[in-house]
Every structure is written in structure tokens, then in C-alpha cells.
Structure 1
Amino acid sequence: MTQARGHAIVIGAGVAGLLAARVLTDTFDRVTLVERDELTANETARRGVAQAWHLHGLLDRGRRIMEQLYPGFTGEAVADGATVTEVLVGTRWYIGGARLAAGSTGLTSVIATRSLLETVLRRRTLELRGIELLTRTTVRGLVGDAQRVRAVTVSGPAGPQTLTADLVVDASGRGSRITQWLTEIGAEAPAEARLDVDLGYASRFFRHRPGQLGGQASVIVSTGANGRGGGAVRVEGDRWHVTLAGMLGDHPPTDDAGLGDYAASLSAPDIHTIVVGSEPLGEAVPYRFRTAVRRRFDRQSAHPAGLVVLGDAQCAFNPLYAQGMTVAALQAVALRDCLAATDTDLPARFYAGAADAVALAWQLAAGSDLRHRGVEGRRTLRTRLTNVFVGRVQRVSHRDPRVARAFLRVAHLVDPPAALTAPGTLRRILLS
């Protein structure tokens, strides 16, 4: 059994922070979650997670990890109101302008609001030994130097404080100030890869009526040639959660007529049918995501001991592809495995261990974004050839359920991209 290592602090009590706290309890006596928001059991969204108003997808790879870390997680989410169904059986996917062929994929969708998923994770995490949660508390900076981080400074209900720790984990999300904090203590800030997508959302809840969408639980319409897409998922409270999305500044409006017209412009009619045929519950809410950012901690030659960065604080993906929660789960597992081995050179080993998962998700998202001509970025020969191949995979997936299965298992990060070039699958793709 690994010897306990004292005190760990996690900055941020969102999904990434909760998953980090869960694995830290295996090797630390005490784990303190520091969260600037007030947290309530019935929150719809909160200031620190503005994107919680909008549709979230939990890829099956992420669900499986959560089930491993919190046995019974899926059933508990269902008890709280989530819907569980098999991808392509209980859901509809439109990609490349047409619907993917229905068939078994072996993938499970947990359909719920982001708030429900986070509430289940928080409840389970706070039941663990040695966990403490500080709310309405904001981290102001790191204490230490380029060699080691020893504490964080915070402000909250108890006033300014310095909290010492053997390990600090920054899971504070897209708004992380980690670059500034590292510079302030004389440490090297990581280089960044950036991809401007100027994505806009408009989301609204509607009352679900029996028989809508043929009894299925969700429909996803990927962004087509015009950069427009969206989704409608049946969530807790017997509601439709509808999100419309537009790339490169072509953002959906939030007024009734504009929302309906935008839904009508998608490449499939299903979401528009729900929007115009259902009772609205509240107003539409906008959201804007300008730039995907990957901080290349994995390329740094030196890191201060006592600090690791994960989740969106390390890599903030275009949210269209629903990778964030799953990559955070993969990073949490990498952190667990590193801690179980030794605490020597932990940051470098963690970034190396998590690099493959982050790189794969980034490549999948960036490659898809670069299919839109207006997205500026380097299109290597490999990128262009990959996008040609993916386009063919999508077209074949419209009529071949076996290829659709293989495609979605890669998209859910369950199978590697190489699964699409397995002899049987590749033959179907090339000869269909």
C-alpha cells in the first residue's frame, strides 16, 4: 500500500477537480477542494461554470472511468433523473449532412445536464475520507519558486490565508490563471497552441411530450458546411435541453423567431421540430467560446515540484466535441498511476503519462475544426489526407452500421483511430 503523503490542494471543484480529488484520496491523508462559487445541490449553473447552461456530452470512455472510480456512478445518475441509452440505438446522430446508420455500438450514453453529473460526482467525492471543501474561496496565487510550490494564497469568508500543501492541483478550468501564477514565482510558463473557432451557443429548455423524436432520447446534428449544428437531449425533469451552435461568429440568436429559424437551417429537421413543437421553459441563454488552447506542459524541460495542472486549465477543447470531461477523467487516472508509483519528479511523469490522451483528443478536434475553411491554422499534408479519409468514413457510416460503430467508438475515445484501418473495416470504407 502506498504511504500517505500529507496534504493536497485542488483548485476548482468542477468535474476535473472532483476527479482529481478522488484519486488523491488514495495517497494523501488530507485533500482540500478550493472553490470560488457557492455550491448547492439543486443548482442549474453557477458563475464559474457558465457553460453548464448548455448541452454536455459524457463520452463512454469517460463514463467507464467514472464508474471505475465511483462504483455505481451510472446507476446513481439514473436515480437522480439521468437517462441511459445505447448510442445509435436510443439516439440519432447526423454527421456530414446525413444520419448515421443505426446499430449496436457497445457504447452507453448517460444523458443529463452537466449540473446533475457534477452533483453526483461531488456527493460521492465528499463522502470520502479526508476530503474538505472550501466554498466562496478564491485562489490568488502560488507560494514557492521555480523549484517547488509549497502553498496557495486564498481569500474567502475567513479572510486572506496561506494554505500549505505537499501537492497543488490546478483544475480551475478555462479561466485558469496558471500562466500568470507561474511567472509570478519565477517559473517557466508553458508554450501554447491555439485555434480560433469563435463558437457561439444558444440553449433553451423545453417541455418533453410523449412520442417526440420517435421515443428516442437525443439527437445530435454536427456542424455542417455552413458551420451550424446543435443537439436536443432529454434530461431530468422530463425536459428537452436544446443547444444550437455556430462557428466563426455565425452565432444563433436567442429570440423565439431567430432561434426557430436557426434550427430550421440545420442539415436535419429533428431539432427544429422540437423547438417549434414544444413548450419553452425559460429564456434562451447565449455562450461564446473563442479559442481552443493547449498548454504544452509536456514539452517543458523543468517544472516546479508540488504542482500539476489538468482539465481545461491544461487543455481547453472546442466544446462541440464533448471531450472535456472524458479527457479530465483520463488525466485523473494518469495522476493516480503516477502517485501510486512514486512522488519523484511527479509533474514531468504526469504530463508525459497524460500526453497521449490529450494529444489524441486535440488532434481529433483540431482536425475537424480545420475542415472549416474559415478556421485559421496549419493544414499539413497529414491533416488534409486525414480529413479526406474521415469524410469518406462519415459518408459510408450513413449506410453501413459496422462502419458507423467503428467511427463512433473512436469518437468516444474508446477505440484508437487505428481501429478505422483494421482490415475488415478499411475494406468496407474503401469499397463501399
Structure 2
Amino acid sequence: MVALPYFFAASLGSVVAFKIFWSLLRSHLVAKHCAIGDIQELGKARPDGAKIRGTAVVCGGSYAGLATARVLADHFERVVIIEPEEWLLEEDARRAVSWEQEGKRARIVQYNSLQATQPFVLRTMRYLFPNWDATCKEGGIEIAPYELNFMWWGNTAQSPRKYFGGVIPDAMFVSRRALETAIRRRVLDVNAYPNISQVAGQVTNFIMDKNHSDRVGGVTYRDINGNTTDIHAELVADCTGTAQGSLKWLPQAGFTEEIKKDTYDAKMRYTTFTFKITPELGAKLPVPGGFYRQGGGYLVSNPDARTDNKYICILRNEGNLVSVCPGGWGGTGAPLKTVDDIVAHCKALKFTTPMPQWIMDYVEMLHEAEHDMVVSQVNVGPSFLLKFHEAKNLPTNYVCLGDVLCRVNPLYGHGCAKALTGASCINMVLNRTRSSPVLPRSFAKDFFKLHAEKLVPMWELPILMDYGHETTVPIEGQKKSDTDGLRWYLRQVFELSFKDEDAFLPSFLTITLMGGASIDLLHPVLIAKVMWNYLRG
């Protein structure tokens, strides 16, 4: 009996020690693999006298290019964006009411496709741009809690409101077109960022630096009239997307090392139907809480890969535009073209719990808006990760980011977040030498190393999920079956999340806030809950 107090004291001490250890380990992993802390350093411009002398050139003016230009404006005297599509210099490309835009993006396949942006994206925008919320309001972009009605094989996960004090963090409900247009309007604001300019042209190659063999001297670009111009640069950032311009320019400049590449093919394809919802139709649509309720997340339905390969998402974005996106892995039948096709897709979903009737009624009522709907079909190419961080012979003043370096399955909605993470990595590396007006010789090496670490969650989680589908072609040398155990456990976590919000929290933190750690799913309390739920059946 005398020993009991010591036993309880020792037990309590062990629990406290474990909590401290777990917290420290988790903080370390989040700091290493997530940008959620790094984005707080964005938007802090160097004094003019401390800016890096010369010009930074950004090749490409979409998400990655615009974000990179905004970051570089805080560090360089001059930033030039070279963008092939001439109309992006016009006012039409910056209009507040984006759904009235007349120009069409020729190089962005997903410009009119479904997009969901996480709270991480909103937080990053707020650091990059003062009064970002006013920009959203101007463009009809709603900011509301990130409630998307996540479902797995027909069952709804419990949102982890308790962890966030009762309210899920805010996000933007915004299409690709509207968000890119809003960012461009802010980046190219000459009053706010007079050191940023944009020219229309196609970069054709790097200029060699005759005095420094480990650098590039700038770029040559061809304008719309076919004339070529050289721009000498202290830094060149390739943001040309899947065109991957610099993979051609590097060998031409003498940097001939082959970049290692991991690639796999989820054979994903999807169709986005965009509907203009009139006030009369909106009043009738049977959404719980009403069509105009706060937040436009109506449904994100994911399959059990053992029995189904089909997916669907329904969102309301700016201007009361509704995006309905059916899709799937491998063969999902003929391309969808009509509302009847959407209905048939919904009926073919394999659920363990019947789909809520309001969703089927909602889709059926979209027949009333079918006459002027916009349809965008995307066959997603293979996902890839270029291992620039392992390269030994790269220019010290060159970086690439966005889809140049890594493309992930767009189903998981990390395209914009990935681009912003890359821009944040540039900022973090440049901040290490804020007092120097010269680009450090280790810049490219430091950037690619940091960026590779931050990409780990965005690259590995889609692989784990996609490998569950029979049609997915894995990375060379890997076996899909090697991830069966992890996928079984994750499926049990999802099963528990239908009644316990703590079980959905690790996935929510990783997918939506870019602030989760790999060990979150392995906390002993969660493991115990998952196994107890499994044993109870």
C-alpha cells in the first residue's frame, strides 16, 4: 500500500513526459514538412537599400508565377514576369467580376474546372496582400468556414469543430478563374508593387553567364511579333507549369545533368459542369440550410477503392456559380456531357449508406440551368516529382516550382497550395540573407532542399490513396500492395470519423491546413479508439 502513491506519481509523470515528447516531436515534423508557420514571414519587404540589385525574371504568370513575383518584389529591385498569353496584360485579365471575363486561357487546361482552396490558401493570401478580404468581396468571393460535407462511401465525417473552438477555419469558395484573376489584379497593381512588370512573350532559352559558369545570365524571350529580346537577371524562376520550359533551357546552357524523376499514373479523369443559378432556381434548390447558406461546400464524396472508382463534388463559388464535378480513376465510362449523365453517375456510386435524397433532387433540378452550362473535361496526366534537390549541377540562381517540379492528382485540391508553398520557400531562403544586396551562392541548393521537405505530405498522401485503385500504375520499383496495411488502417480511421470528430482531425489538418504531421494518425489514443471501434464491428 505504501508503494501506491509512488506508482501513481510515476504513472502521472510518465503521461506528462510522453505528452511533452509527443508535442515536441510533432512541432518538429510540422515545421519540417509544412509551410503553415513559414507563411507568417511573407509580405515583409526589405528596405529599398537592402534589396538585391538587379532583376528577377519569372517565366510564366499563373498561380506559381504570380505568387513568386509577389514574393520576389519584397527582395529584388525589379521583377519581370514573362507570360505567353498576351491578353493577360489587358484589363479583362484583372476584372473584379471574373465570370464576365471574355479571354480564354489557352495554356491552363483546368481554368474552367472545379477548384477547392483550403484555409491554408486564404491565410497565405492574407499575408501576401494587405486587405485581401476586400479583394475577395470586390470579386464576389465568399469567405466562410471550410465545411465541404466530406463523405466516404456514403458516410459523412464529423467536422473537427471542437479542436478549433467550435468553428472550422475560413476558406475562400472560389473558382480557378476568379482566384487567379484576383491575384493578378493585386500583383500587377503598379501603385502597390511598382517594381513588378509583365511582358508578353515566350522564353526560348537561358543566357549563359560568361563570367560565372555556375550561374545563368538571364533569359531570351520571343515576343508576339517574333522578335527576340534578352533580359539579364540575377535570378530566374521557372513557373511554366507542365510545359516545364527550363528542362529544355538547362541543357542548352550547359547544365546537362539528368534530373531524377518519380512518376505514377492514377489514370484520373473528371468533368466539371458549371451552372449559372438564377435567384428563382436558387430559392428552390433543396440544400439543408438553403442554397444561400454560409459556405458553398455541398458535397465531396470519396469511394472505397475496394469496390468503387467514382467520385463527385458539388460546390458553390463566386457569382452563385455551381460546379458539379463527377470523375474517377481508370475507366468510368464515356465522357459525361449532360445533367442526365451526372444523375446516372450519382446512381452508380457504391455507398454503404444511401445517398441523401436532397443531393439527388438537387442534381435533377439542375436541368433548369442546363441550357447555358459550361462543361470542362480533363484527362489527368501522370503525377510526377522531379528530384532537383538531389541534383549536383544546377545554376545557383535558378529555381522552379509549381507544376514544373511536381504534379499531384488534382482530386486532392493541392495545386494552388503547392504553388504558394514553393513561393514561401523562396521567401524563407531569401530571408536568411536579408541584409545582403547579393543573391547567396547557395540559393538554389537551399531552395530545392527546403521545398522537397515541404512537398512530402502533398506527394505521399495522394500516392497512398491512389494506390488503392486497381488501375493505378505505381512508381517504377514500387508495389501497390506494400501500402495495403496503411490503407486498411486509414479506412478504419475514416470509419471512426463518422461518429468521432477526433478521428477526422489528422486528415483535416493535413489536407486543409497543410499543418498536419505524419504521426497524427499514430497517436496511441487514436490507435486505441480505432482498434476498439474495429473490434466492436
The bucket for the TM-score relative to the shorter chain is: over 0.9
Higher helix proportion: 2
User: How many percent identity over aligned positions?
Assistant: 22
Instruction: Specify which of 411, 416, 420 is matched with residue 521 of structure 2.
Output: 420
2:334 and 2:69 mapped to 1: Cα distance?
37
Q: C-alpha displacement at 1:24, in angstroms?
A: 0.3
Q: Is the 8 A contact 1:393 1:407 kept in 2?
A: no
Asked whether the equivalents of residues 74 and 110 of structure 1 are also in contact (C-alpha less than 8 Å), the reply is no
Pairing 1:384–2:484 present: yes
2:423 matched residue in structure 1:
332
Between stretches 385-394 and 255-264, larger displacement belongs to 255-264
Change (3 A) 1:339 1:168: same
**Is the 8 Å Cα contact of residues 204 and 284 (structure 1) preserved in structure 2?**
yes
> Which structure 2 segments of 5+ residues have no match?
1-45, 434-439
Q: Distance in 1 between matches of 2:454 and 2:133?
A: 23
Equivalent residue for 1:12, pick from 60, 76, 80 = 60
Residue 143 of structure 2 is aligned to residue 84 of structure 1: yes
Q: Which residue of 1 aligns with 2:31?
A: none
CA distance 1:45–1:321, change in 2 (3 Å): farther
Q: Distance in 2 between matches of 1:182 and 1:189?
A: 10
Tell whether the 8 Å contact from 1:168 to 1:307 is kept in structure 2 after alignment. yes
Q: Secondary structure of the residue that 1:152 maps to in structure 2?
A: strand
Which residue, 214, 221, 227 being the options, matches 1:154? Answer: 221
Residue identity matched to 1:57? A
Shift of 1:249: 3.8
Deviation sequence 1:390-432 (CA, Å, 0-9, x none): 1111111111122223321122222223222334434333333
Partner of 2:444, secondary structure, is helix
* Aligned residue identity for 2:128: L
In the alignment, what sits opposite 2:317? Answer: 235
Secondary structure, aligned partner of 2:76: coil
3-state SS of 2:378 partner: strand
Instruction: After TM superposition, give the deviation of residue 96 of structure 1 in Å.
Output: 4.3
Equivalent residue number for residue 287 of structure 1: 378
Secondary structure at the aligned position of 1:290 is classed as coil
CA offsets per residue over residues 15-43 of structure 1, 9 Å max, x none?
11111111101110110111111222343
Matched, 1:61 2:120: yes
Cα distance change, pair 133–265 in 1 and its aligned pair in 2 (3 A) = same
Partner of 1:108: 170
Q: Residues 382 and 70 from structure 1, CA distance in 2 versus in 1: closer, same or farther, beyond 3 angstroms?
A: farther
With normalisation by structure 2, the TM-score equals 0.75
1:361 corresponds to 2:458? yes
Match of 1:124? 186
Amino acid at match of 2:498: H
Distance 1:251 1:300 in 2: 42
Counterpart of 2:152 in structure 1: which amino acid?
Answer: I
Counterpart Cα distance in 2 of 1:421 and 1:142: 47
**Deviation by residue 1:89-110 (Cα, 9 ceiling, x = unmatched):** xx31112442112451533231
3-state SS of 1:415 partner = coil
Change (3 A) 1:234 1:175: same
Read off the aligned partner of 1:297 and give its amino acid letter. Answer: F
Matching residue within 142, 147, 163 for 2:206: 142
The 3-state SS of whatever aligns with 1:402 is helix
Deviates more, 1:255-264 or 1:366-375: 255-264
- Structure 2 residue 301 is the aligned partner of structure 1 residue 221: yes
Tell me how far apart the structure 1 counterparts of residues 260 and 328 of structure 2 sit (CA, whole Å). 28
The answer (yes or no) to whether the contact 2:457–2:510 under 8 Å persists in 1 is: no
Larger radius of gyration: 2
- Cα distance in 1 between the residues matched to 2:461 and 2:121: 16
Deviations 1:248-279 (A, max 9, x none): 24366232233331233234466554332121
> Which SS does the other structure have where 1:52 is aligned?
coil
Structure-to-structure mapping, 1:161-200, within 5 angstroms: 161-187=229-255, 188-200=257-269
Once the two structures are superposed, residues 139-195 of structure 1 have per-residue CA deviations (whole angstroms, 9 ceiling, x without a partner) of 122222772221212111352212221111001112223222222222123111111
Give, in whole Å, the separation in 2 of the partners of 1:282 and 1:192. 39
Does 1:371 pair with 2:468?
yes
Structure 2 equivalent of residue 400 of structure 1: 500
Q: CA deviation at 1:304?
A: 1.2
Count matched residues: 429
Per-residue CA deviation, residues 272-306 of structure 1 (Å, 9 max, x unaligned), is 54332121232422111120111110111221122
Q: Which AA in structure 2 matches 1:259?
A: I
**SS at 1:353's partner residue?**
helix
Shift of 1:380: 6.9
Contact 1:254 1:285 in 2 (8 A): no
Q: Secondary structure at the match of 2:490?
A: helix
Q: CA deviation at 1:224?
A: 4.0
- Residue in structure 1 matched with residue 346 of structure 2 by the alignment: 263
